Amino acid sequence: MDTVLEWVTRQWLEIVGVAVTIAALIYAHLAYRTSALGLAHAKQAELTNLRIQTKAALNDARQAQVSLELSCQIYRTSWASHERMQPMTMSAPGSFGLFKRSPIDDVQHEGRQLLQQLDALGATVDDMDLQALEALQQKAKATSLAIQALAGRLEGPP
């Protein structure tokens, strides 16, 4: 028993050093796990933020389509009012009779098609990864601008 006690008293500095080293290793491992967990949370937060931005861009495209629909309705009303004021002719060059598709209908249809294509791509926003979300967000912004540009093709009566 005396030999163990003597050995401990002679080696106390090394024993304390080993204990401090073990404590430092445990602390380093805990710090590594905490940083890895923090990184995972940061990536998840970035993904969630991008999903929110993408959904906002999709909503902007839908709002652009609603605005286009309203503009089309306003132009249709103005054309109908204009045609009621004009004498009735069967072959009027600007006539939008019952059987003829108007340019307003074409613009409205094109806007709906653009939005349908975007909605088909954006159906799985919650399952997309970072790159797919960024691509969809850019596509939504481009679609929104394209729908807004369609309103410029609408023409009112002279």
Residue-wise DSSP of the chain: -HHHHHHHHHSHHHHHHHHHHHHHHHHHHHHHHHHHHHHHHHHHHHHHHHHHHHHHHHHHHHHHHHHHHHHHHHHHHHHHHHHHHSPP-TT-TT---TTS--HHHHHHHHHHHHHHHHHHHGGGGGG--HHHHHHHHHHHHHHHHHHHHHGGG-----
Whole-number pLDDT of residue 61: 95
Whole-number pLDDT of residue 90: 52
φ, ψ at 6 (rounded to 5°): -65, -40
Whole-number pLDDT of residue 47: 93
Whole-number pLDDT of residue 2: 73
| Number of neighbouring beta carbons within 10 Å of residue 133 | 22
Whole-number pLDDT of residue 56: 95
The token pair at 151 is 């309103």
Tell me the pLDDT of the chain (158 aa) as tens digits: 678 888 888 888 999 999 999 999 999 999 999 999 999 999 999 999 999 999 999 999 999 999 999 999 999 998 888 888 876 655 455 555 555 678 889 999 999 999 999 999 888 888 888 899 999 999 999 999 999 999 998 888 88
Whole-number pLDDT of residue 62: 95
pTM given for the model: 0.71
Whole-number pLDDT of residue 116: 94
Q: Any idea where the domains of the chain sit in the sequence?
A: 46-153
